[in-house]
Amino acid sequence: MRIIRWGMIGAGDVAEVKSGPGFQKAKNSSLVAVMRRNGALAKDYAERHSVPHWYDNAEALINDPEVDAIYIATPPHVHKQYTLMSVAAGKAVYVEKPMALTFAECQEMITACQNAGVPLWVAYYRRMLPRFVKIKELLEADAIGQVRSVRIVLYSPLNPERFPPDNLPWRVVPAVSGGGVFADAGVHTLDFLDYVLGPIQSVQGIAANQANLYPAEDNVAANFVFESGALGTGTWCFTTNQALDQTEIIGTRGKISFATFSPAPTLLTTAGGVEEISIADPPHVHQPLIQTIVDELNGVGTCPSTGLSGARTTGVVDQILRKYREEHN
């Protein structure tokens, strides 16, 4: 098998541990180039991680003849731009989540890749994390019977110090991120449910900005229906006095409870009692998904997180936030 040589656009916090080293440690994979607009930071990353080439210009990295595939690790507002540039160079694309600012942008990316015959994947890495793979196996083994209902709860305490008005994190600036913490983090659970239960067929949602710390929504509620007929609800509130991360998948013979972000054990509840399932995440959480991409590029297997599936999750977010965006744009 050939070595897939990766170029990485963006080298922030996510690239330090979660993703960057995964390109180096996956089999038949190598990280050969990195780019940041601040050249000194790009050079620093390259030197610390033994990456041979660094750039301060995305076009130069994309057109590097030693780069086979591009990982776009930037905020969402430039995902489409860099994807289209990569497609023009004939390079495979692995883009961070959320896939783009809107479903319409996702569709442009998908169309461009299809027309050029270039593969497109999205970094919903939980689809291949061992503890989430286990949940999928339990559902496929009919451990809780037919799924009837899903309940998502994600709360975090209000912390004004994290959001200085003159220096807001990009994740809560809609023009850069597409929304707030819901659009940035809540998508992980929605995408995983798409993977294990099938696409969401219809969705309704409401959103509000209650703390007025930033322009994006800080409280979201939604209900949705899967193609299977299972019903779901979700609440994502980031102005509470508590932290809670829990999703329940409820079936005719039991339920599965899990946390999307914390390492809490997965709980399988059936007539036989409650079973705790503890599976640690790997050091570099992107690595299992990266391996499926490398393997697919080498003609072995397929990656389960594609542009098509990533676009579906962005489409769900669009529908949930539609009214809020109309009222605040």
113-126 pLDDT per residue, tens: 999 999 999 999 99
Which residue has tokens 């409401």?
206
Query: What is the spatial distance between Cα 73 and Cα 95, in angstroms, rounded to a whole number?
Result: 7
**Which tops the pLDDT comparison, 156 or 329?**
156
Percent of the chain with pLDDT over 70: 100
CB environment 202-220: b (16+ within 10 A), e (fewer): ebebebebeeebbebbbbb
181 — pLDDT class (breaks 50, 70, 90): very high
Q: Which CATH superfamily is domain 130-280 in?
A: Dihydrodipicolinate Reductase; domain 2 (3.30.360.10)
Token representation of residue 48: 């610390």
Q: Which CATH superfamily is domain 4-126+285-302 in?
A: NAD(P)-binding Rossmann-like Domain (3.40.50.720)
- Beta strands 254-258; 266-270: pairing state: antiparallel
Closest by CA to 216, choosing from 165, 164, 175, is 175
Closest by CA to 263, choosing from 131, 125, 78, 88, is 131
Half-sphere exposure of 298 (CA within 13 A, CB side): 16
Q: What is the pTM of this model?
A: 0.97
Query: What is the spatial distance between Cα 329 and Cα 327, in angstroms, rounded to a whole number?
Result: 6
> What value does the mean pLDDT take over residues 143-171?
96
Which uninterrupted H or E stretch holds 139?
A: helix 130-140
329 — pLDDT class (breaks 50, 70, 90): confident
pLDDT of residue 1: 86
256 in Cβ contact with 148 (< 8 Å): no
Q: Please state the domain extents for the chain.
A: 4-126+285-302, 130-280
User: What's CA 95's distance to the chain center, in Å?
Assistant: 9
Q: Is 67 left (phi over 0), alpha (psi -120 to 50) or beta?
A: beta
Within 8 A by CB and 6+ apart from 25, the residues are: 284, 287
Token representation of residue 160: 């004004």
Give 244-291 as a DSSP string.
Answer: EEEEEEEESSEEEEE-SSS-PPEEEEETTEEEEE--PPPSSTTHHHHH
CA angle 233, 154, 261 (to 5 degrees): 120
Half-sphere exposure of 301 (CA within 13 A, CB side): 10
3-class secondary structure, 226: strand
> What value does the mean pLDDT take over residues 44-50?
97
Query: What is the spatial distance between Cα 199 and Cα 232, in angstroms, rounded to a whole number?
Result: 12
Q: In the predicted model, what is the mean pLDDT of the chain?
A: 97
pLDDT of residue 120: 98
Can you name the residues that pair with 221 across neighbouring β-strands? 206, 235
3-class secondary structure, 110: helix
Percent of the chain with pLDDT over 90: 98
- Whether the link from the prior residue into 98 is cis, omega within 30° of 0, is yes
